Amino acid sequence: MGWEVRELDAEETYPLRRAVSADGRRDLPTMRHELDAAQGSWHLGAVDATGQVVATSSFFLVPCPLRPEAQPAVQLELMAVDPMVQGKGAGTAVLTEAIRRLKATAAVLLWASARDEALPFYERFGFTAAAGSGFTPVETGRPHHIIELDLRGLALGTKALQLHTEPLLLRRWREGDRDLFARLNTDPEVMEHFLGPLSREESDAFIDRIEGAFDKLGYGLWAIEVPGEIGFIGYVGLASPNFRAHFTPAVEVGWRLRRSSWGRGFATEAARVAVADGFGRVGLDEIVSFTVPANVRSTRVMERLGMTHDSRDDFDHPQVLAGHRLRRHVLYRLKRSDWQAIQ
């Protein structure tokens, strides 16, 4: 299920605020907020295919009481999700778009007062609960914390960020992944469509480059975990090609999973989440993917993602010698607008 996220007039948020009762607050009988029309205030909503607003949130230029020196700061307020679509990504879509917009502004801090049971949702985006900020509003009796997201470090500090999909966890890399990744990189079947297996030193250096990309760009190749089953099965995620071609600069989606995890749909499922993160939180306009024509398993994943192939885009990989069986590559593309149309 996909959502169109757009800016709303304050009045468009009122019905959903009222329906959800703004976390039980009764001090806003009309669900209006004193800052709704203030300078710098704005409102986002997720809209379903019928035009119904199913999730909203408002953003006000208000200093964080715990970090008044962090200016300009933006307060996230009155987030409301229609109970009929809770857990289906509407709130995620709104917050992802909000963060994408804020990254392009001078704002340095996004903060909110969040219910304790909602903290795991916000932690997925890198929010942290400020130490000693717990309190319980008299109006609701529900424990809350002040949560903060440092927008200046968002592209440089994604250590806490994780992506989830049933049944996978996409996370940053750990030291314990190195042995398993090195073993994966020596499997002849896994490496069939690459120039050759990697030594332990090359495998470790690859992880270091991946982590460096996360810290520098805010995106990268996620380590994939199957919680409750196995702690590491490979990677899926986004990367920037390090060679020149007619389609670069670009961001590609790629994957490499251990052989025993093939055939379970893990590559497709994780890649869908990585692509959604790329078009949402990261703010990309296009994602590509490429491989050799013989790698049918991968081209099928590309097609399942909605990517399209034009033979005029096929290219000779500049890092592969002429005449080598892996020289020729096929290129698949997916634009944000096309991705949105198939959600």
Q: What is the CATH number of the domain that holds 311?
A: 3.40.630.30
Boundary-marking domain end, from 127, 153, 179? 153
Burial class of 184 by CB neighbour count within 10 A (0 to 12, 13 to 18, 19+): buried
Spatial contact of 340 and 4, defined as CB atoms under 8 Å apart: yes
Write out pLDDT tens, residues 301-326. Answer: 999 999 999 999 999 999 999 999 99
- pLDDT of res. 53: 92
Write down the mean pLDDT value for the chain: 88
Q: How many domains does the chain have?
A: 2
Pairing mode of beta strands 252-257, 315-316: unpaired
pLDDT tens by residue, 92-117: 788 888 888 888 788 888 999 988 88
Residue 177 in any domain: the answer is yes
Contacts of 274 (CB under 8 A, 6+ apart): 163, 170, 222, 236, 237, 238, 253
* Assigned token pair, 264: 């379970």
| Secondary structure (3-state) at 257 | strand
CA dihedral 215, 106, 161, 269 (to 10 degrees): -100
Let me know if residue 305 belongs to a domain: yes
Statement to judge: residues 54 and 110 lie in one domain:
yes
Domain edge (last residue) among 90, 124, 153: 153
Distance of alpha carbon 178 from the chain centroid = 24
Q: Is the domain of 187 the same as that of 316?
A: yes
Strands 221-226 and 53-60: unpaired
- How many CB atoms within 10 Å of residue 196? 11
Q: With respect to residue 273, please indicate whether it lies within any of the assigned structural domains.
A: yes
Residue 29: band (very low, low, confident or very high) from pLDDT cuts 50, 70, 90? low
Domain residues for the domain of 175 are 163-341
In whole angstroms, what is the distance from residue 16 CA to residue 339 CA? 27
In a domain, 45, yes or no: yes
Instruction: List, for residues 157-208, the tens digit of each pLDDT value.
Output: 455 578 888 889 999 999 999 999 999 999 999 999 999 999 999 999 999 9
Q: How far apart are CA 168 and CA 190, in angstroms?
A: 20
What is the C-alpha separation between 286 and 173, in angstroms, rounded? Answer: 25
> Residue 155 has what pLDDT?
47
Q: Does residue 158 lie in a domain region?
A: no
Instruction: Please classify residue 279 by burial: count the beta carbons closer than 10 Å to its beta carbon, then call 0-12 exposed, 13-18 middle and 19+ buried.
Output: buried
295: number of CA atoms within 13 Å, CB side? 26
pLDDT computed for residue 28 by the predictor: 52
69 pLDDT band, cuts 50/70/90, is confident
pTM of the model: 0.59
pLDDT digits (tens, 9 = 90+) for 34-49: 999 899 999 999 888 7
Between strands 328-335 and 252-257, the pairing is unpaired
Are 119 and 266 members of one domain?
no
The reply to whether 95 falls in a domain is yes
The answer to whether residues 85 and 193 belong to one domain is: no
Listed residues 95, 130, 153: the one ending a domain: 153
pLDDT tens, residue by residue, 241-266: 989 999 998 999 999 999 999 999 99
Tell whether 322 and 270 lie within a shared domain.
yes
